[in-house]
Chain A
Amino acid sequence: MKMTKLAATVAATMMVSAPVLADTLHFPNLSYRTGPFAAGGIPFADGYADYFTLINERDGGIGGVPIRYTECETAYNTERGVECYQSVRGDSPLVLQPLSTGITYQLIPRTMEDGIPMHTMGYGRTSAVNGEVFNWTFNYPANYWDGASVIINYLLGENDGSLEDKKIVLLYHNSAYGREPIPTLTRLAERHGYELLTIGVDSPGQEQGSQWLQIRRERPDYVVMWGWGVMNPTAIQEAANIRFPMENFIGVWWSGSQQDVLPVGAGADGYKALAMHGTGMDYPIYDDLQQYVIEPGLYAGTGDEVGTVLYSRGMYAAMLAVEAAKVAQEIHGVANITPAMMRDGMANLEITEELMVELGLPNFGPAFSVACENHGGSGEAMIQQWDASAQEWNLITDWIAPDREMIMEMVMDDSLAFAAENDMTPACMN
């Protein structure tokens, strides 16, 4: 039978090619380049891979140790995510970035048990901000609750400090990811007096007719979107179809890349989204990327995602990982670090503006420092707006700070509940 033969081949090849590669730093990527969320997964994975290639080519690795980068396809599917986790787990992965809130929820208890750090940048479980409970999980520089709060603070600024009698719709991906901001927006609604309507879109989100019919009937002042993958262009198209004023339509940072607005064409003009980092290619790092990665043809994927928002985000994630690895090498005085050392590096990471300039990314991301009590960075974000005629995102605000006091209160509630559920005593690791 075919399968037995295949199984035999596989078993045989696996015996021969057991990967024993000493003296490399293993950075796996649980990426997704297929499925309904590939539009977001591909640019992120490309950016993540290209930055590591750049570090290998330009600097010869981190502290002289070359990076080994591997990819495992999850298709944004939790079952395959678990399979991928099992396949990299024994291979001393320095940090995991699953780019999926669902997979993150599954991996948090496992990584805690196995001692593998996980970085969920701008996604995942928000209460991982509390490093006393979530020792191995980091979500700097910003999380969903920060994002929700930043949007409300921005709208407060637009409306002279009051959102009384305003109606805000949250259009969310009906999954763990999309439901994450609801508690924050509900709490803020009580404080600022706006009316919040939550409308879920079932995954993957190609069907939104009834949701937008409801939005048209409700006539909200603002629509806030927590969308991902194919849901984003569909929503923006539907908004354009019902002539919803685009400047009142604000997406989270996962709903604000070129891939989301380009399919809609001119109709998307004026659409806004959160930006947790700078946009465009006017940063010196792109010269290095061009020289060391793109021109020699070492880029990941097809190379046509370079410079998009999500590509920049993948690059930013890799940059933060590399910086954390450098901190870890410094703390422990060894170049070939282990996942546990990497955790220490991440827990003591400090990003300053000088460092960002040095890395070729001036004004790209916020300056922040990680501490045990705060794994979540500064939480600041900017607002960007799409210009359909020039086909580019423009930053229209400076960094806007979230309502961290309220968020920390909610973080404590949620994280301590998690600790109680799992019989843990919150404590810093050191």
Chain B
Amino acid sequence: MLYREAGDFKTSYVADSQTFPIKFDRYGYYFILGFAFLVMPLIINDYWANSIVVPFLIYTIAALGLNILIGYCGQLSLGTGGFMAVGAYASYKLMTAFPDFNIVFVIITAGLITSMVGVLFGLPSLRIKGFYLAVATLAAQFFLIWLFTRTGWFYNYSPTGMISAPTRTVLGYPVTGPRASAVSMYLICLSFLVACAWLARNLTRGTMGRKWMAIRDMDIAAEIIGVNPLMAKLTAFAVSSFFVGIAGALLFTVYLGAAEAGEAFGIDKSFLVLFMVIIGGLGSIFGAFAGAFFLIVGPVLLKLLLVDSLGWPTDLAAHLEIMIVGALILVFLILEPHGIAALWRTIKQKLRLWPFPY
């Protein structure tokens, strides 16, 4: 009943191969987009925007990026935190060196710089695979953080080694710095996320994405049918790092406002994004959203429930939160090893037949 597919005919290839071939999904997607852009800015309050929605949007971009690398191309990376730091420090250097450069372009340029760094650290992937590659990217993580904490040029020789984002505006509205309103922060992150998700979706179903998946499924076979592994792997690293760099730049400029490499972009960040990808579902755009929601919004909701509503002590709640989130991760992985995205796929299949399953 929910999905009324009878009569929903496709008369062209374009119509048949669109992202949401089912009408109900498509309208749902338009509705969510419209709601997110038009209604949310009117109803969202500062607390929800700043501490729940904005980090969720930013981490979704990071998860999208890592999902391209791990989920679509099969290259395991533990360097996400380091690459986010590249995006953050690149945006900081650009913001301070060129104060008149529009923040949107600063963030995109930061993404491009990160993508170059990503390609550089992706080069070993041509020779090493699997866990060995994970260790090589782990080296990238530690090297980049070391570089940003020890080299004064990157933080403009500030005595504390902290970088802080000055106020920048888009169309006259400040989006970074303390004067930025919650709504403008929300809208800039949402715009970046929609653009990134659209790009990711279209890349992954095109030639490039098919090459990545061919490499992921069996690299020798892919090579035999004419996929150039050098190009496929390096483009995956480039695109993935581009997204991760944008996420790092947004996290620093819009959300945190001030950061330091070791604290904000440490190894735990790499694991956090990796868990999002795994729990959300490898090789799925929706999975990036679901994983980020689970790991970013989940703990905050738990905190709101335990501390603010039930009045439990904060330390007990914090410990419980770790346990509950950990247990939920286990439960999810046991019940559905392919992540929340696979769970959603199953539910959707059932819903399409409901209420008359055969």
> What CA separation (Å) do A202 and B343 show in the bound complex?
40
B305 vs chain A, min Cβ distance (A): 5
Chain B residues in 8 Å Cβ range of A179: 159-161
The 9 closest A-B pairs by CB, nearest first: A33-B315, A113-B178, A109-B178, A176-B160, A73-B314, A83-B51, A13-B309, A34-B318, A86-B51
CA distance A368 to B161 in the complex (A): 31
Chain A CB within 10 A, most for which of B258, B293, B294: B258
Q: List 21 A-B contacts (CB under 8 A).
A: A6-B305, A10-B309, A17-B308, A31-B314, A72-B307, A73-B307, A78-B256, A86-B50, A87-B47, A90-B47, A106-B257, A109-B164, A109-B177, A114-B178, A175-B260, A176-B161, A179-B159, A179-B160, A180-B159, A183-B159, A301-B315
Counting contact residues on chain A (CB < 8 A from B), the size range is: 35 or more
Taking residues whose C-beta sits less than 8 angstroms from the other chain, chain B's interface range is: 35 or more
> Does the CB pair B309–A105 fall under 8 Å?
no
- C-alpha spacing A102/B258, complex, angstroms: 8
Chain B CB within 8 A of A390 CB: no
Please, how many angstroms separate the alpha-carbon atoms of A25 and B317 in the complex? 25
Q: A112 contacts the other chain (Cβ, under 8 Å)?
A: yes
Do A33 and B314 touch (CB < 8 A)? Answer: yes
Is A248 interfacial (CB-CB < 8 Å)?
no
Q: Determine the residue in chain B with the shortest Cβ distance to A300.
A: B313
The answer to whether A82 and B315 have CB atoms under 8 Å apart is no
Which residue of B263, B293, B300, B322 contacts A102 across the interface (Cβ within 8 Å)? Answer: B263
Bound complex: CA of A52 vs CA of B90, how far in Å?
Answer: 45
Bound Cα distance from A22 to B294, whole angstroms: 36
B:268-311 near A, CB below 8 Å: 293-294, 297-298, 300-305, 307-309
Establish whether residues B161 and A86, one from each chain, have CB atoms under 8 Å apart when the complex forms: no
Q: Is B162 an interface residue (CB 8 A)?
A: yes
**Which residue of chain A lies nearest to B310 when distances are taken between CB atoms in the complex?**
A13
Most buried by A among B55, B256, B260, B307: B260
**Chain B residues proximal to chain A, CB less than 8 Å:** 46-47, 50-51, 55, 149, 159-162, 164, 166-167, 177-179, 255-260, 262-264, 266, 293-294, 297-298, 300-305, 307-309, 313-315, 317-319, 322, 328, 343
User: How many whole Å from A238's CB to the nearest CB in chain B?
Assistant: 20
A82–B315 Cα distance when bound, in Å, is: 18
Which of A38, A42, A176 has its CB near the most chain B CB atoms (within 10 A)? Answer: A176
Q: Is A274 an interface residue (CB 8 A)?
A: no
**Residue pair A13, B305 in contact (C-beta under 8 Å):** yes
The minimal Cβ–Cβ distance linking B24 to chain A, given in whole angstroms, is 19
Give the docked Cα–Cα distance between A183 and B159 (Å): 7
CB-CB under 8 A from B266, the residues of chain A are 203
Cα–Cα distance between A1 and B50 once the two chains are bound (Å): 25
Bound complex: CA of A174 vs CA of B298, how far in Å?
31
Once the chains bind, are B301 and A110 in contact (CB under 8 Å)? no
In the assembled complex, the CB of A89 is this many whole angstroms from the nearest CB of chain B, namely 7
Is B162 touching A102 in the complex (CB atoms < 8 A)? yes
Residues of B within 8 Å of A422, CB to CB, are: 166-167
Most buried by B among A42, A90, A102, A301: A102
Tell me the A66-112 residues at the B interface (CB within 8 Å). Answer: 71-73, 75, 77-79, 82-83, 86-87, 89-90, 101-102, 105-106, 109-110, 112
Q: Which residues of A contact B328 (CB under 8 A)?
A: 2
> Does any Cβ of B come within 8 Å of A158's Cβ?
no
Determine whether the beta carbon of A34 is less than 8 Å from that of B178. Answer: no
Tell whether, in the assembled complex, residue A17 and residue B309 are in contact, meaning their CB atoms are under 8 Å apart.
Answer: yes
* B305 touching A203, Cβ below 8 Å: no
A7: chain B residues within 8 A (beta carbon) = 297, 301
Residue of A nearest to B293 (CB): A3
Residue A414 at the chain B interface, CB threshold 8 Å: yes
Contact with B along A40-52 (1 / 0, CB 8 A): 0010000000000
Which chain B residues border A106 with CB–CB below 8 Å? 256-258
Asked if A14 is at the interface (CB within 8 A of a chain B CB), the reply is: yes
Residues of A within 8 A of B (CB): 1-3, 6-7, 9-10, 13-14, 17, 31, 33-34, 38, 42, 71-73, 75, 77-79, 82-83, 86-87, 89-90, 101-102, 105-106, 109-110, 112-114, 125, 174-176, 179-180, 182-183, 200, 202-203, 301, 414, 421-422
Min CB gap A328→B, angstroms: 24
Are B51 and A82 within 8 A (Cβ)?
Answer: yes
Instruction: Verify A110–B178 contact, CB threshold 8 A.
Output: yes
Q: Is the CB of A175 within 8 A of B263?
A: yes
CB closest chain-A residue, reference B269: A79
Given contacts A110-B257, A176-B162, 18 further A-B contacts (CB under 8 A): A6-B302, A13-B309, A14-B304, A17-B308, A17-B309, A33-B313, A38-B315, A73-B314, A78-B256, A78-B263, A79-B256, A102-B263, A109-B177, A110-B178, A174-B262, A175-B161, A176-B161, A203-B262
A109, B176: Cα distance in complex, Å: 11
The CA-CA distance from A113 to B174 in the complex, in Å, is 13
- Given the complex, which residues of A lie within 8 Å of B47, measured CB to CB? 86-87, 89-90
Report the nearest B residue to A41, measured CB to CB: B315
Pair B260/A176 contact, Cβ less than 8 Å:
yes
List the A side residues contacting B164 at CB < 8 Å. 105, 109
In the complex, chain B residues whose CB is within 8 Å of the CB of A202: 262
- Chain A residues, CB < 8 A from B314: 31, 33, 71-73
Distance of A29 from chain B, by nearest CB (Å):
9
Q: Nearest-CB distance from B248 to chain A (Å)? A: 13
Q: How many angstroms between the C-alpha atoms of A42 and B302 in the bound complex?
A: 22
For A200, the chain B residues whose CB sits under 8 A away are 149
Nearest Cβ in chain B — how far from A252, in angstroms?
A: 15
Question: Which of the residues A109, A180, A203 comes within 8 Å of B263, measured between beta carbons?
Answer: A203
In the assembled complex, how far is the CB of residue A16 from the closest CB belonging to chain B, in whole angstroms? 8
Set of chain B residues within 8 Å of A90, measured between Cβ atoms: 46-47
Given contacts A90-B47, A176-B160, contact A82 B263 (CB under 8 A): no
Contacts of A110 in B (CB 8 A): 178, 257
Measured between C-beta atoms, what is the minimum distance from B345 to chain A in Å? 14
Given contacts A71-B314, A73-B317, A79-B264, contact A86 B160 (CB under 8 A): no
Q: Which residues of B contact A89 (CB under 8 A)?
A: 46-47
- Determine how close the nearest CB of chain A comes to the CB of B139; give it in whole angstroms: 16
Candidates B162, B297, B303, B319; contact of A105 at CB < 8 Å: B162
Q: Let me know if A73 and B308 touch, CB within 8 A.
A: no
Q: A17 contacts which chain B residues (CB < 8 A)?
A: 308-309
Q: Which residues of A have CB within 8 Å of B313?
A: 33, 71
